[in-house]
Each structure stands twice: as C-alpha cells, then as structure tokens.
Amino acid sequence: MAIPDFRTTDATAVRASVALLDGPFDLTRPTPCTGWTLADLLAHMTVQHLGFAAAARGEAWPLERWAPRPLGADPAADYAAAADEVIAAFAAVDLETPIALAELAPAPLPAWRGIGAHAIDYVVHGWDVATTLGLAWELPEEVLRQALPIAESVPGTTTAFAPALPAPADASTMDRILLRLGRVPR
C-alpha cells in the first residue's frame, strides 16, 4: 500500500487560511468553536503550526508548549510566519519518519499521519475563520476529496472536535467533512 502524501492538501488549506486574514478583522468575534473568539482560534492555530513544524524537524515540543500563547501586535503576520514554518517543515520530512506530537498521541506517529491530522484541522479551522469573518471558504475539490477520508477516520466523539452529525445524501464534500467533525455548515 502506498503511503498517502497529504502535504499538498495541507499546504493548500493552510495558505488559504492565511489569505483570509488579509485585512482588518475583529479578534473579539465569536467563532464556530464553542467558547472561542477569533483571538483564541488564531492563537490555537498558530501554536499548532509551530508544534507540528517542530515535530517534523525532530525537535522536542512538550505538551505544555501546545498551550496557546497571547497574540502579538500583528496576529496575521505571526500566523502567516507560523504557517510558512509548518509548510516548510512538512516539505522536508520523510513521510515514514516517526514524529512526536504530544498533544495528539502518546507515542510518535509516522509523519504522513501527522500531516494528515494537521491537514484536516486546517480544512476545518480555515472554515471556522472564514465563517467568523463572513468570508467564503473555497478549497479545490481534489483537496476536499483527499481530506474527507481523514475526517471519516476521526472517531465520532473526540476531544478535538464536537460529536459527528449526520450528513444528508446530497451533502457536498465540504459539508460532509464539517458534519463529520461536528460543525454545522451554514
């Protein structure tokens, strides 16, 4: 069986999420992530990029470092820099290399699995940001088709996402992903 390579899917979703932050935005706006403002979500997304990048480079990133930090003076620039960092780290890692993701799993995972987990997170968190800002979230269908099986592999109940919701037969690929991960498409 060929090892799946989710790097293009991940980079496409991450770059699209960066593009959403081009312009003024209100960090106090509530997001689809229950109890989170846009500031909370961006802080989470930024530290996730940094943690996954460190893991891909083989650096230690203990559990306490996964906690979001307060945003800096230019959250969009900080987020974009972290996004560039994770994309570069993923591009350089061998897909079979074990990477330690303390927040995700107790034992190291093959890099391809970690990249897949990151990719689905950014397909969904990109939608969260777009929804918060009232912007369209459009990813290429081939990206969504590669992300859907990742979403379907997430247990129906998990601490990372809300419980799965049923998808109607005619749901789009993006809506299937969102519903599987407990989001209500708008």
Name 24's Cβ contacts closer than 8 Å, sequence gap at least 6: none
pLDDT of residue 159: 63
Low-confidence ranges of the chain (pLDDT < 50): none
Q: What is the pLDDT of residue 23?
A: 86
Residue with tokens 């930024």: 46
pLDDT for res 17: 98
- From the number of C-beta atoms within 10 Å of its C-beta (0-12, 13-18, 19+), residue 5 rates as middle
pLDDT on residue 156: 62
Residue 158's pLDDT is 63
CA distance 174 to 13: 12
Q: Report the alpha-carbon distance of residue 48 to residue 83 in Å, rounded.
A: 9
